[in-house]
Amino acid sequence: MPTSKVFLEVFKSLSHPNFDLKSFRLIFIKAAWKAYTDIDQNPISQSRFQNIFIPLFDALFVNTNQDIKNILNDIREHVVEQSKIERFFSDTFYIVLNHYIKSFYGTVGGWEKISPFASAIERFIAYTAQRLEDESLFIFEDALINALEMLRQNSDSITVLNTYYGVPIQYPAQILHTDKQSVIIRPHPLQETAALLQNGIYLLKNDQFMYDVYASVNPITIKGERLLELSRFDQLQTSLFHRQNIRVHPHQPYKFTIIHPSLTLETHTYDISIGGIAVTSKNFYPISPFVDVVLQFPLEIMEQNSEVQGQLVFKSAYEGGYKYHFKITPTVQQEAELSKYISRREQEIIKKLREEII
């Protein structure tokens, strides 16, 4: 499978009534020349430059059989060194995209072409900067959509996931349609709402693809039915289910005190599970991981026996302050109280999500 198959198809689908490919080629070469001379004080001759870059234009916008990889190697060797190539192509395509957008002036529509073109540019630049390997995004996305199409043909569903205030929202979804860059699914109404609130959705791995995948979502309506269009797929290298317990966000950040052998931490709750809790604070507390502490749960979460043993696992920056992640070891009675709170809070969150459904 050619490395650049997916984005080449996007670049080759730009035609519209006001689009002139010959003029566009000239704009592309001029834009590339300007970007090149802005970053190189000793440029090669303009004619030599054109001889190198015309094949790139043809490979991107005209001829599928051109080898992008070899053309880019020639550019790196004779024109732009690797350390400058991302800036070079970014500057080039800022000019090119601007001219392409202007070609729609005075017409209705065009965004259905502009948006995929901008997305393909972003991915092409990442590829030239070697932030994506050959088999990374382009082949991955192509292979993923092919796998989803096979599932569609077999009438197999996929399992999709969102979280809402920490609660996992997970249902099967039916695949209705696939094309070069997107997939249309019929999700559960709760899933649709959670996905739109998060501006994305997770596709959980199955027999057809080995990793969980994140996708951007766009709401569409076909024949009066609300559906989701998925695009801009990103492969996740680690599984989404590294946690064994549901974590819920309290409906407000309760004050939370943690007693350390050398100091007391005044914090606020972020999320909580049977096995751990995350709290936030504007203050930086110099405590080391895996030192025993006592966590004093607020009455809203645990009415009795509210002091729970725990250890700091790690801390991280969070919204101008810090987030502290603790592993906890509740007693049997404390675990029962926490379970009741988490179950009750989970039901509240699902109810709230249902109320979001329009």
The confidence score (pLDDT) of residue 136 equals 47
| Residue 2 pLDDT grade (very low, low, confident, very high; cuts 50, 70, 90) | very low
Average pLDDT over residues 71-94: 90
CB 93 within 8 A of CB 86: no
CB 217 within 8 A of CB 195: yes
Distances (CA, A) of 146 to 86, 153, 209: 30, 11, 10
- Let me know if domain 143-235 sits in CATH 1.10.540.10: no
187: Cβ contacts below 8 Å, ≥ 6 apart: 160, 171, 173, 195, 201, 227, 228
CATH superfamily of 255-346: predicted glycosyltransferase like domains (2.40.10.220)
pTM above 0.75, yes or no: no
The confidence score (pLDDT) of residue 117 equals 81
CB 141 within 8 A of CB 181: yes
The confidence score (pLDDT) of residue 70 equals 87
Give yes or no on whether 143-235 and 255-346 have one common fold.
Answer: no
| Domain spans in the chain, listed from the N-terminal domain onward | 5-132, 143-235, 255-346
pLDDT digits (tens, 9 = 90+) for 103-136: 888 776 677 678 778 877 887 888 888 765 544 4
Distances (CA, A) of 25 to 139, 192, 201: 27, 42, 38
Q: What tokens were used for 280?
A: 């936030």
Percent of the chain past pLDDT 70, that is, above it, reads 91
Tell me the average pLDDT of the chain: 85
The confidence score (pLDDT) of residue 9 equals 67
Q: Residue 73 half-sphere exposure, CB side, CA atoms within 13 Å?
A: 4
